[in-house]
């Protein structure tokens, strides 16, 4: 978990003036030079892209986002605009979108909230939502979810997970017993015990707990969750367990699911590929190849097309 590789790193020869001129040129005149836009934005870090956004406005008195909106379309436009937000701002916008209108896209809530670090879940995230959308994230979660799912997501939003790398074997045993007694060993399931342990222990601690759980119960923790819970709560617990075991494999699975069957879930491809590019996307690529025996690049190539495909492949390097 400690050795994760990104695909995008800060561009060494970064020249913000040259970049904004090149983007301006790509958007002016007849037609748009999409390849020039891809070549620049896919090879700059999020911080450098923000610098480009600000410098563009300073020099041309035009919002880069608005300029690109008028020039681009479809999934390519969505992906480019996602790249012009800091990853945590984009994640918050995605949460908002998931809770907008009738119905809630629980898959997106689960993916973002159950895989996030404390920094992303912190009070900054809530303050940010207030400034981006004039909303309070916790209030939205309360309004759009219910019961154990609401309690779990609210607990996660507090950002109280231990993020150290220390493992307390005695605590792992104790937690494993608590989980067993709260689930398989009793009639019904005590969800609050599951939620508290899965939302607050560090990932290495949880790995030790899952090992101890299997030794006590003879059942793998994911099988126990499958048997004891259902619906969105089961999805939350499964995501928390998969992220504790191997976050990069979790994202590889999500990418595969987004491309499986009829149609492609482009929003999920954008969210994971853009948001993970500076953290662990290279490692996610390795996990994808290991699990599915096909490279992520080849999978994207066969599922996506046009400038959208070219952009994703450029980010994947």
For the CA atoms of 151, 154, 159, 161, the dihedral, rounded to the nearest 10 degrees, stands at 10
Contact (Cβ atoms closer than 8 angstroms) between residue 183 and residue 224: yes
Domain extents for the chain?
A: 16-83, 169-245
Residue 238 structure tokens: 């499964």
| Measured distance CA(197)–CA(218) in Å, rounded | 20
Q: Per-residue pLDDT for the chain (317 aa), expressed as one digit of tens each?
A: 558 999 999 999 999 999 999 999 999 978 899 999 999 999 999 999 999 999 999 999 999 999 999 999 999 999 999 999 988 889 888 888 888 866 778 889 889 988 988 877 775 566 556 666 666 777 778 878 888 998 998 888 888 899 999 999 999 999 999 999 998 777 666 889 999 999 999 999 999 999 999 999 999 999 999 999 999 999 999 999 999 999 999 999 999 999 998 889 999 999 999 999 999 999 999 999 999 999 999 999 999 999 999 999 999 99
* Domain pair 16-83 / 169-245, same fold: yes
Contact (Cβ atoms closer than 8 angstroms) between residue 42 and residue 314: yes
Contact (Cβ atoms closer than 8 angstroms) between residue 92 and residue 129: yes
Q: Reduce the DSSP state of residue 191 to 3 states and report it.
A: helix
Contact (Cβ atoms closer than 8 angstroms) between residue 114 and residue 239: yes
| Measured distance CA(301)–CA(303) in Å, rounded | 6
Q: Reduce the DSSP state of residue 227 to 3 states and report it.
A: helix
Contact (Cβ atoms closer than 8 angstroms) between residue 238 and residue 225: yes
* Closest by CA position to 183, among listed 286, 279, 175: 175
Q: What is the pLDDT of residue 140?
A: 79
pTM of the model: 0.92
| Residue position matching structure tokens 């610098």 | 51
* Closest by CA position to 53, among listed 73, 67, 34: 67
| Residue position matching structure tokens 């191997």 | 246
3-state helix, strand, coil in the chain (%, to 5): 70, 0, 30
Q: What is the CATH number of domain 16-83?
A: 1.10.220.10
Q: What is the pLDDT of residue 123?
A: 54
Q: What is the pLDDT of residue 145?
A: 84
Indicate the class that CATH gives domain 169-245. Answer: mainly alpha
């Amino acid at each position: 978990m400690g050795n994760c590789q990104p695909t995008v790193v800060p561009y060494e020869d970064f020249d913000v003036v040259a970049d904004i001129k090149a983007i301006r040129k790509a958007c002016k005149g007849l037609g748009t030079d999409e390849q020039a836009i891809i070549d620049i934005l896919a090879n700059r870090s999020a911080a450098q892209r923000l610098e480009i956004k600000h410098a563009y406005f300073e020099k041309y008195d035009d919002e880069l986002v608005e300029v690109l909106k008028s020039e681009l379309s479809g999934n390519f436009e969505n992906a480019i605009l996602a790249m012009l937000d800091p990853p945590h701002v984009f994640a918050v916008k995605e949460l908002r979108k998931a809770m907008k209108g009738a119905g809630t896209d629980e898959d997106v809530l689960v993916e973002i909230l159950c895989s996030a670090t404390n920094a992303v879940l912190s009070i900054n995230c809530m303050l940010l939502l207030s400034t981006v959308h004039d909303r309070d994230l916790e209030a939205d979660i309360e309004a759009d979810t219910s019961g154990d799912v609401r309690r779990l997501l609210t607990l996660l939003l507090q950002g109280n997970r231990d993020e150290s790398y220390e493992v307390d074997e005695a605590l792992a045993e104790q937690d494993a017993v608590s989980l067993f007694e709260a689930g398989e060993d009793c009639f019904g399931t005590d969800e609050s015990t599951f939620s508290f342990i899965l939302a607050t222990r560090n990932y290495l601690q949880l790995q030790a707990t899952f090992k101890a759980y299997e030794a006590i119960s003879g059942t793998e923790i994911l099988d126990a969750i499958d048997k004891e819970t259902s619906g969105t709560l089961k999805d939350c617990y499964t995501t928390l367990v998969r992220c504790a075991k191997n976050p990069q494999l979790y994202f590889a699975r999500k990418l595969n699911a987004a491309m499986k069957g009829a149609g492609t879930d482009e929003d999920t491809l954008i969210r994971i590929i853009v948001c993970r590019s500076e953290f662990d996307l290279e490692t996610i690529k390795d996990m994808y190849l290991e699990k599915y025996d096909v490279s992520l690049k080849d999978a994207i190539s066969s599922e996506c097309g046009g400038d959208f495909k070219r952009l994703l492949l450029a980010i994947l390097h």
